[in-house]
């Protein structure tokens, strides 16, 4: 967008939110960055899969209760609610011109909502629908920037919404922008207020600020970075700016692609109950001249891409105006089944060229993928999916989800003609091509591995949070696992770390539910008790053994840096200037005695800091990359191997050669690992012949062991 259009975006958006004619432009100096509250919004019970519904903003603007009820009845009559679109979400404009009464309680607009919100909620519930409502995280400024604001009233407003029996809350950030608020802090406080009500309510965080607004802001204020805090605070978080104007406007296809591309940047942030939100569906809104803002093909493409990315499906258009073919697409059970797949994995781009993209999404079951062939161009094109790009081999059965028809069994690839601005939406059923041997178990987080000659020991975390250990030899694993529980309430938090030493000893390290570090030791015969090592960890630990000098743990610290815990106490290793650490660090000691610590930072790059044999730390150095997971380090021979999962779920690596002063090779893709084979980070160990052994989580958390 141009800055002039950005100004129009703000004005039209505010008109709908305020329900008023006179507006004042938003200005926002850079926000101050601060840590978000640690309390998490508990939303799994109310959104085990992406939620669906209809929102008033793009279709009605500032609505009336009569309009809302008319659309609600149509959702039921048309079959949309039966298909899953069961939330009626009031956006801005429901509030009175003076949004609070003398006691500070929010008040509905008496002309547009004469019955009041509780009565409307009750009527909508009787239709079998859920109800959402809207507020802003900032202070109400008299209508200059937002129509209402909850700052200073978070607990009061959350309690009021709960008392009204509201099922979902959207928290905007318009007044938050003008006040220079840090979104992580403000949204974190509102999330805690919602959790305190005790009522399960979906929570959607809506910070729309990007460069498209033409407003100066810091990276912490940018919607593209909401992935860093959204998953722990809410059901969903906006991943970009508004997808459209409040009123239908020509040229919105480009903005659909823009929001899709923004949402594709951080698929790793998504998990069951927590979803990136690329904004609402805007199918076939009618413009003043009678033409459509998006064609049916473009509208269906948006639906398909949102389903492929496991995004919330909220219709923004007035559904009463949609054509029967468009309604059929919106209710197509095979398209919706991809969005609602219980694994909640976001589809990722696995191939791209000047014409379009191929996206692949891992589905429940064995050897199943949902694939989109996207044609960005203005003419029909032949598009091909290569099965190896999706992690499938053998004979692959293809089904066309849009046509709801089988397309035969193929090997190697499948080609189809895709319309301009259109998609082919397919399911593929074949053989998973993930490397290695299955251990016959699953893990809820990254596994850890210890190698002692041919004997291997793998540590996993069960779905109940307990630590489990399993042993194997030469690719053959025992069928049973030993439960080690956990140091606090029988559970651990995050992934385990472990190393071995002489005599068959193994030390395993975990983060307890109290955020302290703990150790448990196997002496070659039996496991001892849990020992509390202390510290305050903000991630799971990694562990490295330094010869006979004992071990050191590294973990993310609450301040966004790295802390180390060892026999000499707890120390700060810091973070690269201006950046914070995301996930757990990795550590390894090379053959020259240098200790390497690698981290993923909030710019999605890998950074390294090295302590030499004398104990002197280097400065932080960027190793580059654009990664979608924590790094793994392993020392073998005269080298250190670095592995990291990219944003498309493929595996990339670099190698450090310790001799001759030490130097890193360039990044290279490990072609044996197709997209979707690896979930999270590798658990690595050096093998007896200098090879790298690894355990990892593959599809649906199934653990496999392989050699790299």
Domain boundaries, given as residue ranges, for the chain:
3-21+46-344, 350-432, 437-707
d(CA 635, CA 592): 11
What pLDDT was estimated at residue 40? 46
Q: How far is CA 563 from CA 452, 548, 574, 597, 599, in A?
A: 28, 22, 7, 11, 12
pLDDT tens per residue, range 348-361 = 999 999 999 999 99
Could you tell me if 585 and 560 are in contact, meaning their C-beta atoms sit under 8 angstroms apart?
A: no
The reply to whether 437-707 shares the fold of 3-21+46-344 is no
Residues in CB range of 32: below 8 A, 6 or more apart: 180, 182
Q: For the domain with range 437-707, which CATH number is right: 1.20.1070.10, 2.40.50.150, 2.120.10.70, 3.20.20.220?
A: 2.120.10.70
Greater pLDDT, 285 or 47: 285
Q: pLDDT by residue (tens digit) across 549-582?
A: 578 999 999 999 999 998 888 999 999 998 889 8
Q: Give the separation between CA 329 and CA 613, rounded to whole angstroms.
A: 64
Please indicate whether residue 508 or residue 3 has the higher confidence score (pLDDT): 508
At residue 604 the predicted structure's pLDDT band, cuts being 50, 70 and 90, is confident
Closest by CA position to 231, among listed 205, 257, 199, 264: 205
Condensed to tens digits (0 to 9), the pLDDT of residues 62-110 reads 999 999 999 999 999 999 999 999 999 999 999 999 999 999 999 999 9
pLDDT band at 422 (very low <50, low <70, confident <90, very high): very high
d(CA 219, CA 223): 9
The residues, ordered by sequence, that sit 6+ positions from 337 with a Cβ below 8 Å of its Cβ are: none
- For the cut 60, the answer to whether the pLDDT of residue 4 exceeds it is no
For residues 468 and 217, the model is more confident at 468
654 to each of 308, 341, 412, 460, 645, how far by Cα in Å?
Answer: 31, 35, 29, 26, 12
Residue with tokens 């709801």: 404
The pLDDT value recorded for residue 549 is 58
Cβ-count burial of 567 within 10 angstroms (0-12 exposed, 13-18 middle, 19+ buried)? exposed
Assign domain 3-21+46-344 to a CATH class: alpha beta
How far apart, in whole angstroms, are the C-alpha atoms of residue 321 and residue 290?
12
pLDDT of 548: 61
In CATH, the architecture of 350-432 is Sandwich (2.60)
- 688: which strand partners? none
Active site residues: 172, 242
User: How many Cβ atoms from other residues are within 10 Å of residue 637's Cβ?
Assistant: 14
Structure tokens at 357: 């993209």
- Chain segment 523-556, per-residue pLDDT in tens: 989 999 999 999 999 999 999 987 665 789 999 9
* Least confident piece of the model among 34-43, 52-61, 452-461, 596-605: 34-43
């Amino acid at each position: 967008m141009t800055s002039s259009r950005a100004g129009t975006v703000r004005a039209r958006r505010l008109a709908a939110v305020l329900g008023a004619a006179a507006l004042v432009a938003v200005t926002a100096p850079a926000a101050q960055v601060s840590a978000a509250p640690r309390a998490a919004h508990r939303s799994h019970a109310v959104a085990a899969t992406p939620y669906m519904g209809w929102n008033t903003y793009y279709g009605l603007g500032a609505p009336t209760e009569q309009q809302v009820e008319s659309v609600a009845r149509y959702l039921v009559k048309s079959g949309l609610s039966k298909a899953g679109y069961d939330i009626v979400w009031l956006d801005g404009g429901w509030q009175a011109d003076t949004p609070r009464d003398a006691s500070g309680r929010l008040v509905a607009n008496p002309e547009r909502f004469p019955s009041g919100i509780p009565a409307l909620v009750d009527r909508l519930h009787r239709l079998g629908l859920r109800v959402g409502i809207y507020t802003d995280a900032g202070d109400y400024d008299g209508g200059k920037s937002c129509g209402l604001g909850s700052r200073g009233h978070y607990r009061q407003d959350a309690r009021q919404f709960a008392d009204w029996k509201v099922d979902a809350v959207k928290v905007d950030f318009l007044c938050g922008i003008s006040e220079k608020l840090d979104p992580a802090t403000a949204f974190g406080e509102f999330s805690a207020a919602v959790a305190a009500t005790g009522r399960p309510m979906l929570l959607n965080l809506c910070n729309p600020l990007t460069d498209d607004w033409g407003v100066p802001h810091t990276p912490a204020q940018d919607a593209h970075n909401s992935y860093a805090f959204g998953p722990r605070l809410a059901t969903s978080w906006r991943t970009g700016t508004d997808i459209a104007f409040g009123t239908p406007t020509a040229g919105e296809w480009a903005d659909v692609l823009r929001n899709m591309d923004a949402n594709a940047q951080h698929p790793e942030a998504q998990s069951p109950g927590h979803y990136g939100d690329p904004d609402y569906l805007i199918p076939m809104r009618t413009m003043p001249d009678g033409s459509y803002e998006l064609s049916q093909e473009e509208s269906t493409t948006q639906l398909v891409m949102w389903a492929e990315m496991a995004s919330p499906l909220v219709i923004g258009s007035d559904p009463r105006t949609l054509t029967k073919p468009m309604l059929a697409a919106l209710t197509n059970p095979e398209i919706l089944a991809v969005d609602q797949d219980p694994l909640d994995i976001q589809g990722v781009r696995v191939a791209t060229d000047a014409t379009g993209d191929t996206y692949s999404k891992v589905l429940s079951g064995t050897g199943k993928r949902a694939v989109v062939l996207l044609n960005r161009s203005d003419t029909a094109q032949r598009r091909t999916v290569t099965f190896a790009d999706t992690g499938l081999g053998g004979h692959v059965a293809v089904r066309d989800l849009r046509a709801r028809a089988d397309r035969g069994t193929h090997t190697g690839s499948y080609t189809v003609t895709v319309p301009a601005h259109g998609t082919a939406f397919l399911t593929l059923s074949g053989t998973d091509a993930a490397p290695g041997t299955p251990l016959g178990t699953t893990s809820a987080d990254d596994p850890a591995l210890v190698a002692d000659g041919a004997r291997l020991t793998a540590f996993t975390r069960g779905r109940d949070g307990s630590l489990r250990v399993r042993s194997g030899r030469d690719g053959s694993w025992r069928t049973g696992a030993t439960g080690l529980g956990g140091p606090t309430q029988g559970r651990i938090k995050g992934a385990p770390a472990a190393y071995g030493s002489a005599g068959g000893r193994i030390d395993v390290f975990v983060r307890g539910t109290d955020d302290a570090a703990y150790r448990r030791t196997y002496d070659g015969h039996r496991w001892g008790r849990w020992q509390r090592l202390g510290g305050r960890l903000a991630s799971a630990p990694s562990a490295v053994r330094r010869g006979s000098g004992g071990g050191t743990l590294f973990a993310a610290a609450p301040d966004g840096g790295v802390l180390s815990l060892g026999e000499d106490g707890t120390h700060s290793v810091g973070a690269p200037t201006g950046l914070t650490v995301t996930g757990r660090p990795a550590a390894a000691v090379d053959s020259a005695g240098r200790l390497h610590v690698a981290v993923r930072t909030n710019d999605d790059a890998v950074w390294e800091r090295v302590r030499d044999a004398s104990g002197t730390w280097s400065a932080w150095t960027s190793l580059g990359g654009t990664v979608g997971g924590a790094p793994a380090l392993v020392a073998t021979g005269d080298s250190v191997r670095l592995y990291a999962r990219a944003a498309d779920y493929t595996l990339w690596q670099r190698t450090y050669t310790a001799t001759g002063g030490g130097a890193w090779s360039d990044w290279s893709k490990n072609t044996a690992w197709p997209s979707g084979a690896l979930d999270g980070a590798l658990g690595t160990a050096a093998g007896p012949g200098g090879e790298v052994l690894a355990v990892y989580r593959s599809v649906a958390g199934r653990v496999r062991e392989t050699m790299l």
